Structure 1
Amino acid sequence: MLRVIDTFVPPDALIAGRVRAGPLEGLVMHMYPHALDMAIGRHEPLVVDLIRRHLSEGDLAFDIGANVGYFTLLMARCVGTSGHVVAFEPDPLVGEHLRRNVARNQGHIAASIDAVTMAIAGSSGTRPFMPGSRLSRGKLGSESGPVTVSAMTLGDAVDRYGSPRLIKFDVEGAESEVLEGALESLATLDSTIIIEAHSQRLEQRCLRLLRESGFHCERLLQPGTKETYILATK
């Protein structure tokens, strides 16, 4: 069924639908036709489990590289009425879908959510951005790109919004840059951090930076895939 939908729907188009099962059951989201695992509650079960285990009522959470907001909304359900979620998405178009999904479900999600169109990077300012062939694959450029986006460091985000209980980031290859730009903050943060590692080299750099900042790290594999994650705790 998913292959049929992918054939007839443009790959960068989103479709609106109700989530039928899983952690976001009952919510309505704009979702990618190639990622209908969101609608049936099977999207990245490892990350879902980690978020549920490490967030509680009243917590602050950062969703860095939030995309259309699946994990943003999950975090909001976990932190409840007294909690707060800040979702960062650098791609202006994807950020619009994120804000739409947050607004559409505000009546069903009691937590406060800030959807911020901004990159978390190694330095603050502006950065070139390379949109991907699919909306979920855009990434920061090093020198040039068709789009320029605003960026702040993780330390700046902590200064602005507070120290989060949980940070999840999926930044398409910029993961070690984000950590390198926040070493002073990492040394004092008592956060749980979930990172998707996009290469073995980046994974090793992230592990080194986190351990040097006092974190205990576990390497985790998404079931049924080759996707690897780092879970860092103090």
Structure 2
Amino acid sequence: MIYEQCLRPISGHGLGRIYLIRALNDFVTSRLKWVAQVQGHKMFLDPRDHLNLFSNGIYEPFETEIVKTEIRKGDIVLDIGANIGYYTLIFANLVGPEGKVFAFEPDARNFALLEKNVEANGYHNVILVNKAVSNKNGKIRLYLSDDIGDHRTYDPGDGRKFGEIEAIRLDDYFMQGSSRVNFIKMDIQGAEWDAIQGMNLLLQKNKDLKVITEFSPKLLRISGIRPEDYLRLLINHDLKLYHADERVQKIEPVNIAEPLEKWMPSNRSYTNLLCIR
């Protein structure tokens, strides 16, 4: 925190682009112990901390309050795109020992921190799955970003490197044993269409299911999906769509006839949808 405060006066003045300062930043952050108290949990963070958890202690405040309202003790929750575990830990606390959280995260570096964070907080009701949720099983490419929250399972066309990862269809993953699911959180950078296509049976079986999904028209288009088609796909699964408007802290019914960009906050290209039966 002291280091962060020291850098603040020079940020925004062009100095951050100077090689020496950037090198110093990389050197110091690689040696700092990035641990923070986040929503009542001890969290080990990536030095780049794209969620700003080290300084803010919370991510997506309105959405965080929504999940705290919607999830009950004993629920089965899926965290698709768990990253380093911000929501996973909140879910694990909310569902309690009688509930269960399945956390899916394909990136090895994120997964290592996710595993460490679950262990550090003593949760035994979390099943960790080092795979991407998609519409097929087997090897797929993960296109990597310097921002640990922006890896993609499709080629974004910006020349980034990629590695091979394992993918799973949820209909196959839950084929054995119980397929009861109460709540799904999904944040997978425009690959939500593929994930939904791989969980058709799961969605049909769970009549009281609630879903909170990131919605980015920009990323959906880059992935080859029309944003309107993604909304219709959710509606075709008998889900009523509500816009979780962070700007005014309200949940409003979605009207797909409206311009999609109208929903987006001015400082980002995505929002979140709450989908309820």
TM-score calculated relative to the size of structure 1? 0.84
Supply the distance in 2 between the matched residues of 1:232 and 1:157 (Cα, whole angstroms): 22
Structure with larger Rg: 2
Supply the distance in 1 between the matched residues of 2:54 and 2:78 (Cα, whole angstroms): 20
Match of 1:51 among 64, 67, 84: 67
Supply the distance in 2 between the matched residues of 1:3 and 1:210 (Cα, whole angstroms): 47
- The Cα RMSD (Å) is 2.9
Question: For the structure 1 residues 126 and 170, does the alpha-carbon distance in structure 2 shift closer, same or farther, using more than 3 Å as the test?
Answer: same
Taking the TM superposition and a 5 Å limit, the aligned residue runs for 1:41-80 are: 41-80=57-96
Supply the distance in 2 between the matched residues of 1:150 and 1:128 (Cα, whole angstroms): 9
Question: For the structure 1 residues 209 and 99, does the alpha-carbon distance in structure 2 shift closer, same or farther, using more than 3 Å as the test?
Answer: same
- Structure 1 unaligned residues grouped into runs of 5+: none
Q: Deviations over 1:3-55 (max 9, x none)?
A: 937965449968522316xxx22523324434333654331112211211111
Supply the distance in 1 between the matched residues of 2:5 and 2:213 (Cα, whole angstroms): 27
Name the counterpart of 2:254: none
SS at match of 1:95: helix
How many residue pairs are counted as aligned between the two chains?
Answer: 228
- Structure 2 unaligned residues grouped into runs of 5+: 17-23, 248-264
Name the counterpart of 1:116: 129
Q: Deviations over 1:113-156 (max 9, x none)?
A: 11111000011111111111221111113699631111111322
Supply the distance in 2 between the matched residues of 1:2 and 1:69 (Cα, whole angstroms): 26
Taking the TM superposition and a 5 Å limit, the aligned residue runs for 1:49-198 are: 49-106=65-122, 109=123, 111-141=124-154, 146-160=162-176, 162-190=179-207, 191-198=209-216
Check conservation: 2:44, 2:113, Cα contact below 8 A.
no
Q: Which stretches of structure 1, 4 residues or longer, exceed 6 Å deviation after superposition?
A: none
Q: Percent identity?
A: 23
Check conservation: 1:158, 1:164, Cα contact below 8 A.
no
| Structure 1 letter corresponding to 2:135 | G
Check conservation: 1:59, 1:165, Cα contact below 8 A.
yes
Name the counterpart of 1:222: 246
1:35 equivalent in alignment to 2:59? no
TM-score calculated relative to the size of structure 2? 0.72
Question: For the structure 1 residues 61 and 3, does the alpha-carbon distance in structure 2 shift closer, same or farther, using more than 3 Å as the test?
Answer: farther
Question: For the structure 1 residues 9 and 57, does the alpha-carbon distance in structure 2 shift closer, same or farther, using more than 3 Å as the test?
Answer: farther
Check conservation: 1:19, 1:39, Cα contact below 8 A.
no
Supply the distance in 2 between the matched residues of 1:71 and 1:15 (Cα, whole angstroms): 22
| Structure 2 letter corresponding to 1:4 | L
| Structure 2 letter corresponding to 1:17 | V
